[in-house]
Structure 1
Amino acid sequence: MGNEQVLDQLQAKTYRVQGLTCTNCAAKFEQNVKSLPGVKEAKVNFGAAKLTVWGEATIDELEQAGAFEQLTIREERERPARQEPFWKKKENWNVYIAAALLAVGWAASAAGSGWLAVAAYVAAIVIGGYSLFRTGLRNLLRWQFDMKTLMTIAILGAAAIGEWQEGAVVVILFAISEALERYSMDRARRSIASLMEMAPVEATIRHGAEEITVPVEDVRVGDVMIVKPGEKIALDGVVVNGASTVHEAAITGESLPAEKAPGAAVFAGTLNGEGFLEVEVTKQADETTLAKMVDLVEEAQAERAPMQAFIDRFARYYTPVIIAVALLIAIVPPLVMGGEWLDWVYRGLAVLVIGCPCALVISTPVAIVTAIGSAARRGVLIKGGVYLEQIGRLRAVAFDKTGTLTKGEPAVTDVVVYEGTRERLLAIAAAIEKRSQHPLASAIVRRAEEEGTLFLDVPVGEFQSLTGQGVKAVVGSETYYIGSPALFTSLIGELPDEVEQQIVAFRNEGKTVMAIGTADRLLGLVAAADPLRPSAPDTVAALRRLGVAEVAMVTGDHEQTAQAVGHQAGVSDIRAGLLPEQKLSAIRELKQRYGITAMVGDGVNDAPALAAADVGVAMGGAGTDAALETADVVLMADDLRQLPYTIRLGSRTLAIVKQNIAFALGLKVLALAAAIPGWLTLWLALFADMGATLLVTLNSMRLLRVKE
C-alpha cells in the first residue's frame, strides 16, 4: 500500500501556528513534527501559518517540536487570543535587558572603566543572544547553514577578537531584525485572519416557539436562523421569511448592498441591513462559502510561485557561498599579502553579517501573501502565487459569451404590433408563455410584469408545445400561436416584405425573433436578446490598456448573435458555433500565437477550455461550489470589472517582487564592496540587512493600495 493511500486512511488535523517568521524555520518545524512518535506525516503552510498532521500528537508535543522558535499552537477554528502590543511581548524582554546592559557598557567605557564595560557587553551578548546561540550552535554542529548559523559565527568571532561592544550591538540589532520579520509576515497574514473573524461564533436559532443562541458548530442544515437588523449572518442559507438588504462585501467585494427576499441566498459573514430575516441554514460552519474562501486562499499561500521557488533554491546555495567568501577574506590577505590578522578577520565577520539572506528570502513570500490576501478581501480568489505571476504576464484573454460577456438571461428588447394593441398582444403572449419552460418564455413574462400588463386573468386552455417551432393555446375561443417566423410561414404562407425586413434587421443585431398570431394572420413580433453586461466594453478596453495583445470571444452560439455581441463589447477575434473541443483548440492556438492566455467562463461549462488556459477565470463564485473548485481565479461578485483589477494586481506584484530582490541583493553588493576595504563595521552591516528587510516589507505593503 502506497504512502498516499495510508495517509488517506488517517485523519488529518490542522492547527494554527504563531511565531513562524522564515521558510527555513517552517521546514525545520515540519521535520521536527514528522519525527514525533505518533505522527506519520506533517505539512507546514508557511504563508498561512498552518500545520497539518496525519497521526496523533498533542498540542504540547507540537509546541515542543517548535520550541527552537518559541512557536505556539492552537486548534484551527479556535479564535486567537487578543494580541499583546509588540513592546509587551515576552520574547522581547531579553532584548530590553541586553539594550540596558549595552547602555551600561557605553557609560562605563566613557567613564574609563574598561573591565565594567567588557562585563556589561558580555552580559548583553549572553542574555540578548541566548536563543540565537542555542539554535546557531546546534545548526553548526549539524553543518546546517542558515542565517542564525551565520550570526552565531559572526558574534562569537567578534568576541574572540575582543570586539565585545560590536558583538553586543549586533545581538540587539539581529533581535530587532527578527521582530521586523515577524511583524511583516503577521501583517501580510492579517488580511486572511480578518476574513476568518467576519463570521459570528454564535447563531440565534428558532427552536419551536422559542429562540435560542448556540455556537455555530452546533447548528445543523435545515435549522431556521433568526437574523435581526444590523446583525451579521452566521451561516449560509436561504431566506424563508422577511426582506432586507445585505452588505456582501466580505464575500463578493461589492460595496452596494444586495436586496434579499424569500428564496434568496445569503452568506456567512455578510451584514444584514434594516430588515428582519428568517434563514434556513444550507451549510454547516466549516462548509460555508466564507470558510471555503479562507481555506482556498490559505492553500494558495502554500503554493510557491515560480519566482519564490527560484529564490528558495538560490538561498540554499547562497549561504554556504557567503561563508566561503568570508573565510577567504579573513585568511587569504594575511597569508598571501601579510595583512593584519585581526583586521581581516573582522572584515570577514562583517561579510558574514551582511550575507544574511533574511531580506532576500522574505522578499517574495511577503509580497505574494499580501497580494492574495488583499485580493480575497475584494472578492477575488487567486489560488496560488503561480497564477498571480501568470495573470500579471497575460498576453491574451478569451471570453465565453453567455453569462460572461452577457448577463446569461434573455430579455425582451422590441415588441412590434401589426394588429390590435401592444397591451393586448403582451397579455396574450405572457398568459400562454407562463405555461412554458423555455428561457424566451420567461423573458416575455418578465417584460409583461415590468410593463404592468394584466395577463394572469386571461383564460388559457389546450396549451400545447410544438417541438422545435413554438407553442399554441386557446385564449377565449380563438387559437393563438407563438414561435419562430418559420412556423407562421407554414401556417399563413409567405410573410409580407415589411415583416421579413424587420426579422432580418433583428437577427443582424443578434436578436432572437418570435412571431405571435393565429392560424390565418400575424399579430406581431417580439425580439429578445441576452443583453451585454454594461461593464463588458469598459473591461475589454481596460484589458487592452493593460497590455493584453488579443481579446477573443469563443462561443457555441450562432454567428450573427456572436458578431453582434462581440462588436458591442469591442472584441476583435470572434469565434462562433464552437463545440467544447473546438474551444479547446482555440485556446491552444491563442497560447501558441500570443503566449500566456486566460479563459474567462462560468466555471461549470467549458471545463476543457478553462483547464487548457494558463489561467482559468470563473465568474460568480459566490454560492457556486463548482466555480470555487475548478478555476484558478474566481471573481466572486460575477463582475467583469474585477478582471482588470486582478491583472493590475498580478502585474504590480511581479514588479514589487523584482524590486524587492533588487533591493535585497543591491544593498548586499554595496555593503560587501564596503566591507573589503574595511569601511563597514559589524553593526552597520547588520543595520544594512535590517534596512533591506524593512524596505522589502514596506514595499510589499503597497499591494494593499492597488485600486479596483
Structure 2
Amino acid sequence: MKETYHVTGMTCTACSSHVEKAVGKVAGVRSVSVNLMTGSMLVDYDQTAVTPADIVEAVVDAGYGASLPGAAKTARREGTQPPDTLGEELRQMKLRLILSFCFLIPLFYLSMGHMMGWPLPALFHGRENAMLFALTQFLLVLPILYINDKYYKVGFKTLWKRAPNMDSLIALGSAAAVLYGVAALYQIAWGLGHGDAARVDKWSMDLYLESAGMILTLITLGKFLETRSKGKTGQAISRLMDLSPKTATVLRNGAEVEVPVEEVAVGERIVVKPGGRVPVDGVVVEGWSSVDESALTGESIPVEKAPGAKVAAASINQSGTFTFEATRVGEDTTLSQMIRLVEEASASKAPIAKLADRVAGVFVPVVIGIALVTALVWLAVTGGDIARALTAGVAVLVISCPCALGLATPVAIMVGTGKGAEHGILIKSAQALETLHAIDTVVLDKTGTLTQGKPRVTEVLPLGDTTEEELLCVAASLEKPSEHPLSSAIVSAAQEREIPLAPVSGFAALHGKGIRGEIQGGQFLAGNAALLADEGISLGAAAGQAEELAAQGKTPLFFARDGELLGIIAVADLPKPTSAAAVEGFHALGIRVVMLTGDNARTAQAVGRSLGVDEIIAEVLPQDKERQVAALQSQGRKVAMVGDGINDAPALARADVGLAIGAGTDVAIESADIVLMKSDLLDAVTAVELSKSVIRNIKQNLFWAFIYNIIGIPLAAGVWYPLFHIMLNPMFASAAMSMSSVCVVSNALRLRLFKPRFSPSAPSAPSDTPCGCGEPISTKGVFSMTKKLTIEGMMCSHCTGRVEKALSALEGVSSVVMDLEGKSATVTLSADVSDALLTQTVTDAGYEVTAIQ
C-alpha cells in the first residue's frame, strides 16, 4: 500500500528528517518520503503488518501531528490543501507579524534612543530612572513573546524529544536573550537599592530584550515571505484541482439530473452542453462536438469528438451537446491521476537531496554545540564578559537555521514537476527528473513514437489509360473486405476523396501475397510483386518505380485487371510532424539517438535516415527490446527509452528513465517514469531541458545554502574578530537567516519562467490525401447513386448503429452515413438497390422509413 499523509508542525528540514526516521523504524514500512514544502508524507508499507493508525502514532511520538490519508483526500477534494490551509496560515502569520511590529517599533526606539541620539521622554533619562527604562522594555517584549509562542512550544517540545529543529534554535536564542534581560532587571534593582551606580549603568545598557523581540519578529517576517513564495510553487496542483467540475448532469429515468460529481457511477450517462466541463472520463455515445483538452495535454487545438471517442475529465466542450458513458470516476479519472502523479513527484526525493538530508539530520545538535562552545570561549577570553559571550552564542543559534538547506531541493522539484504538468509532461518521481538530466542516449521506438502508427497512402501511380480515381476505386473496392492494415489505408484514402466503391464478388485472400476478386465481370488482383510473378504479369517499367518506393521505406502494392497491370499504390507509416525536430533537439542537447524497431531493416533505414537518427537497430523481437537497452547500458551509457506499446514496457522499465507516449497502453504508462500526455516526441526533448534546468537550480540553491552557513556561523561566532574586529549582532543574524530562505525560494521560482527551446515551428501535418485530388469525381464505368432515408424511431447511438449495420449488409450498398439528430441515413449505392428493399431492411431492424429522397 502506498498512501499520502498530512503532517503538521514541521518547520525545517531537520523536522522532515526526524519524521522520516521515526516512521522508517515502524515494522512493515518499506519506504517513507516527507515533503517539507507541502507538509505531506508518502509512505509505502505492508498493510498486513502495519496500519495507518500505527504510522500516525509514530509521527505524533516524534513530536509532530499527522492525519489519516482518508481525511487528507477529503480535504483535497474540498480545497487546495488539507485542513490547515495555506491561505489561513498566511493570514495568521500576517496578523502575528503586524502585532509584533506594533510592539517592536517602540521597543527598538526606546532601546536604541540613547545610542542614536533620538529624543526620548524625560521619564527614561537618568540613572534614577534606569528601572523604569528597563521595565518598559520588558513589558514591550512580553507581547512579542506571547504572539510568537509557537517557536517555544514546538522548539522546546522537539528538544525534549531529542530531535531539535529550527524552532529549537530560535527558542534557545531568544529565550537566552530574555533571561539575560531578566537578570539585568535584578542587577539594576540591586544597584539602585545598594547605591551601586556602576552596576546600574552597566546593566541598563546591556538588556538585550530588543534582540529577543527583533529575532522573533524578523524570523516571522522571513517565514511569511517564504510561505507566500512557497504558495506560488504549488499553483500547478491548485490549478489542476480547480479544473474539476463540482457537479455533473446525469441522465436518470429519462430525465437530466444535476448531482455532485462524487455521486457519478461507472456506466451512467452524462450530458455535456456547450461551454461545460467534462466531469469524469468516458466514451461518447451520442452527439458530436469539439473539445478543448489543453488543460490535460497542453495542446491548444480542440479535438473533434464523435460517438466512440474518449473524453477526459476537466476538458471543455466548445460547441455541440453530447452524451457520454462514464468509464472512470472519482480517483480513477485522468485528472485525478495527474494530480496524484504531480503530488507524488513533489513528495519524492531526488538523489541530490540526500546530501542535504544527511547534513540536516545532525545540523541542529551540532549548531547547539557550536553555540555553547562559542559562548564558553568568549566568556574565557573576555575574562567573564557575559554580554559578549551571550551575543556570540545567540548569534550562532539564530544564523544557523537550516531552512535554506532544507528548501533548496524540494522547492525546485515542486516547481519543476508543476511546470512539466503545464506542458503535458507528467513526471512520476524526483529521481526520474534528476536522472534525466544526465542522459546521453535516447532509444526511440519507431511505430507510434517516431511515426504515426497507422499506414497511409502516399502515392497513387496509375499506368496506361487508367486514372488515379479509377485506380483508387478498384483498389479500395478490392481491399474493403480485407482486414489487413494496408487495406484500411487504401479504403480511407478513397473515402476521403469521396470515391464510390464497386461491389466485389469471388473475393479470396492469398496468404502472404495479396487478394483477388471480380468487379463487374473483370478479374482483379491486388498484392505484392510475388503475386504478379505467380500470375505471369510483367511489371515492366513499373519495377523501377516500385524499387524506388521501397528504398524510401514505403510498401508498393500492385493492382492488375485481366492480366494487365493497372498501377501502383504506395503505403507507408509516415513520421509524425515533429519527429525530425525532436531528433534535432536531442542532438542539440548532446544526446545520441537510437531507433529500435521490429520492422524490416530496409524500411527502418529509410525512416531513420529521413529523420537523422544516429543508430538504427531493426528486426528486433518484442522480447529482445529490453536486452538491447541493457546492452547500451553495459557500454556505460545513460539511456532513456521512449515507447508506447505493451512490448515496450520491459524496455521502459529497464532504461535509466522510461518515457511513455500518453496515447499508448496503460501497461507502458505504468512502466514509465515520465508520461508525455500529448504523444508528441518533442515533449521528450522538453522533459530533458526541464530536468537540466531543475538540477541546475537545485545546485545553485544548495551552493548558496552551504556557503551561507559556512560564512555565517564563523562570523557569528566571532572567528574573524581578532583580525577585522567584526562580530554579528543577533538582530542582523536573524535578518540574514530569514533572507537566506527567501532567496532560495525566489531562485527556485525562476523555474516558472521556463520555456522550451525546441518547440514545433507550426509543421504542416502530412496531407490526408497525399496524392492530391480535387472534387469528388464520377468514376468511369462504375455505378454510383446516393439515397437519403428519413427514419422514425431512432432514439440513441445504439439505434443508429443497428440501422447502419442492417443497411451495410445489403449487396450494392458501399457506405452508410447516419444522422441521429436529422433522423436520417444517407446510403451510397454501387449497384441498383430498390426503395422497397431499403425500406424492408430498416423495418426488419425495428424502425420506420417515412421518406426516401
TM-score (norm 2): 0.75
- The one-letter amino acid paired with 2:539 is L
1:701 corresponds in structure 2 to: 749
Q: Secondary structure at the match of 1:533?
A: coil
Maintained 8 Å contact 1:202/1:214? yes
- The one-letter amino acid paired with 1:586 is Q
- The one-letter amino acid paired with 1:610 is L
Matched, 1:135 2:154: yes
- Superimposed CA distance per residue, residues 483-517 of structure 1 (whole angstroms, 9 cap, x where no aligned partner): 11111111115532x12211111111011111111
Structure 2 CA distance for partners of 1:668 and 1:25, relative to 1, 3 Å: closer
1:499 corresponds in structure 2 to: 542
Maintained 8 Å contact 1:29/1:65? no
> Once the 2 structures are TM-superposed, how far is the Cα of residue 385 of structure 1 from its aligned partner?
0.8
Q: Secondary structure at the match of 1:280?
A: strand
- Superimposed CA distance per residue, residues 645-704 of structure 1 (whole angstroms, 9 cap, x where no aligned partner): 111110000110011111222223332343212431112112111111111111111111
Structure 2 CA distance for partners of 1:245 and 1:19, relative to 1, 3 Å: farther
1:642 corresponds in structure 2 to: 683
Matched, 1:427 2:473: yes
Maintained 8 Å contact 2:12/2:165? no
Structure 2 CA distance for partners of 1:347 and 1:22, relative to 1, 3 Å: closer
Q: Structure 2 CA distance, aligned partners of 1:524 and 1:28?
A: 76
2:189 corresponds in structure 1 to: none
Q: Structure 1 CA distance, aligned partners of 2:505 and 2:346?
A: 61
- The one-letter amino acid paired with 1:410 is P
Q: Structure 2 CA distance, aligned partners of 1:44 and 1:573?
A: 39
Q: Structure 1 CA distance, aligned partners of 2:319 and 2:425?
A: 27
> Once the 2 structures are TM-superposed, how far is the Cα of residue 256 of structure 1 from its aligned partner?
1.5
> Once the 2 structures are TM-superposed, how far is the Cα of residue 312 of structure 1 from its aligned partner?
0.7
2:599 corresponds in structure 1 to: 557
Maintained 8 Å contact 1:27/1:44? no
Q: Structure 2 CA distance, aligned partners of 1:236 and 1:87?
A: 35
- The one-letter amino acid paired with 2:445 is D
- The one-letter amino acid paired with 1:228 is K
Q: Return the match for 1:308 from 353, 357, 364.
A: 353
> Once the 2 structures are TM-superposed, how far is the Cα of residue 225 of structure 1 from its aligned partner?
0.8
Maintained 8 Å contact 1:621/1:627? no
> Once the 2 structures are TM-superposed, how far is the Cα of residue 169 of structure 1 from its aligned partner?
0.5
- Superimposed CA distance per residue, residues 236-260 of structure 1 (whole angstroms, 9 cap, x where no aligned partner): 1111222221111111111111111
Q: Secondary structure at the match of 1:364?
A: helix
**Which structure 2 residues correspond to residues 239-278 of structure 1 after superposition, within 5 A?**
239-278=284-323
Q: Structure 1 CA distance, aligned partners of 2:727 and 2:643?
A: 59
- Superimposed CA distance per residue, residues 313-361 of structure 1 (whole angstroms, 9 cap, x where no aligned partner): 1211233332222222222244367574431331122122111111111
Moved more, 161-170 or 327-336: 327-336
Maintained 8 Å contact 1:184/1:366? no
Q: Return the match for 1:96 from 87, 95, 98.
A: 98
**Which structure 2 residues correspond to residues 223-242 of structure 1 after superposition, within 5 A?**
223-242=268-287
Structure 2 CA distance for partners of 1:404 and 1:651, relative to 1, 3 Å: same
Q: Secondary structure at the match of 1:161?
A: helix
1:4 corresponds in structure 2 to: none
Q: Structure 1 CA distance, aligned partners of 2:673 and 2:627?
A: 20
**Which structure 2 residues correspond to residues 390-409 of structure 1 after superposition, within 5 A?**
390-409=435-454
Matched, 1:351 2:396: yes
> Once the 2 structures are TM-superposed, how far is the Cα of residue 614 of structure 1 from its aligned partner?
0.5
1:568 corresponds in structure 2 to: 610
> Once the 2 structures are TM-superposed, how far is the Cα of residue 34 of structure 1 from its aligned partner?
11
Maintained 8 Å contact 2:428/2:674? yes
Q: Return the match for 1:161 from 180, 199, 202.
A: 180
- The one-letter amino acid paired with 2:542 is V
- The one-letter amino acid paired with 2:513 is Q
- Superimposed CA distance per residue, residues 275-326 of structure 1 (whole angstroms, 9 cap, x where no aligned partner): 2111121112221111111112222222210011221112112333322222
Structure 2 CA distance for partners of 1:358 and 1:48, relative to 1, 3 Å: closer
Moved more, 344-353 or 334-343: 334-343
Structure 2 CA distance for partners of 1:583 and 1:51, relative to 1, 3 Å: closer
- The one-letter amino acid paired with 2:667 is A
TM-score (norm 1): 0.90
Moved more, 166-175 or 511-520: 511-520
Q: Structure 1 CA distance, aligned partners of 2:106 and 2:365?
A: 36
> Once the 2 structures are TM-superposed, how far is the Cα of residue 262 of structure 1 from its aligned partner?
1.7
Q: Secondary structure at the match of 1:638?
A: coil
Maintained 8 Å contact 1:227/1:278? yes
**Which structure 2 residues correspond to residues 395-474 of structure 1 after superposition, within 5 A?**
395-419=440-464, 420-455=466-501, 458-474=502-518
Structure 2 CA distance for partners of 1:621 and 1:352, relative to 1, 3 Å: farther
Q: Structure 1 CA distance, aligned partners of 2:691 and 2:20?
A: 30
Structure 2 CA distance for partners of 1:234 and 1:19, relative to 1, 3 Å: farther
1:149 corresponds in structure 2 to: 168
> Once the 2 structures are TM-superposed, how far is the Cα of residue 44 of structure 1 from its aligned partner?
7.0
Q: Structure 2 CA distance, aligned partners of 1:175 and 1:483?
A: 79
> Once the 2 structures are TM-superposed, how far is the Cα of residue 28 of structure 1 from its aligned partner?
5.8
Moved more, 358-367 or 180-189: 180-189
Q: Structure 1 CA distance, aligned partners of 2:251 and 2:397?
A: 66
Q: Structure 1 CA distance, aligned partners of 2:507 and 2:462?
A: 23
- Superimposed CA distance per residue, residues 535-560 of structure 1 (whole angstroms, 9 cap, x where no aligned partner): 11111111121232x11111111111
- The one-letter amino acid paired with 1:597 is V
2:343 corresponds in structure 1 to: 298
Structure 2 CA distance for partners of 1:100 and 1:120, relative to 1, 3 Å: farther
Structure 2 CA distance for partners of 1:20 and 1:133, relative to 1, 3 Å: closer
- Superimposed CA distance per residue, residues 526-580 of structure 1 (whole angstroms, 9 cap, x where no aligned partner): 11110011111111111121232x1111111111111111111111111111223
Q: Secondary structure at the match of 1:459?
A: coil
Maintained 8 Å contact 1:20/1:182? no
Structure 2 CA distance for partners of 1:139 and 1:207, relative to 1, 3 Å: closer
Structure 2 CA distance for partners of 1:691 and 1:261, relative to 1, 3 Å: same
Q: RMSD in angstroms over aligned alpha carbons? A: 3.1
Q: Structure 2 CA distance, aligned partners of 1:291 and 1:210?
A: 28
- The one-letter amino acid paired with 1:481 is L
Q: Secondary structure at the match of 1:381?
A: strand
- Structure 1: gaps spanning 5 or more residues: 1-7
Structure 2 CA distance for partners of 1:507 and 1:585, relative to 1, 3 Å: same
Moved more, 13-22 or 682-691: 13-22
Matched, 1:285 2:326: no
Matched, 1:668 2:668: no
Q: Return the match for 2:661 from 601, 604, 619.
A: 619
Structure 2 CA distance for partners of 1:388 and 1:74, relative to 1, 3 Å: closer
Q: Structure 2 CA distance, aligned partners of 1:683 and 1:89?
A: 25
Q: Structure 1 CA distance, aligned partners of 2:286 and 2:10?
A: 47
Q: Secondary structure at the match of 1:412?
A: strand
Q: Secondary structure at the match of 2:267?
A: coil
2:834 corresponds in structure 1 to: none
> Once the 2 structures are TM-superposed, how far is the Cα of residue 13 of structure 1 from its aligned partner?
7.4
Q: Return the match for 1:522 from 562, 565, 568.
A: 565
Maintained 8 Å contact 2:86/2:231? no
- The one-letter amino acid paired with 2:606 is A
Structure 2 CA distance for partners of 1:168 and 1:288, relative to 1, 3 Å: same
Identity over aligned pairs, percent: 35
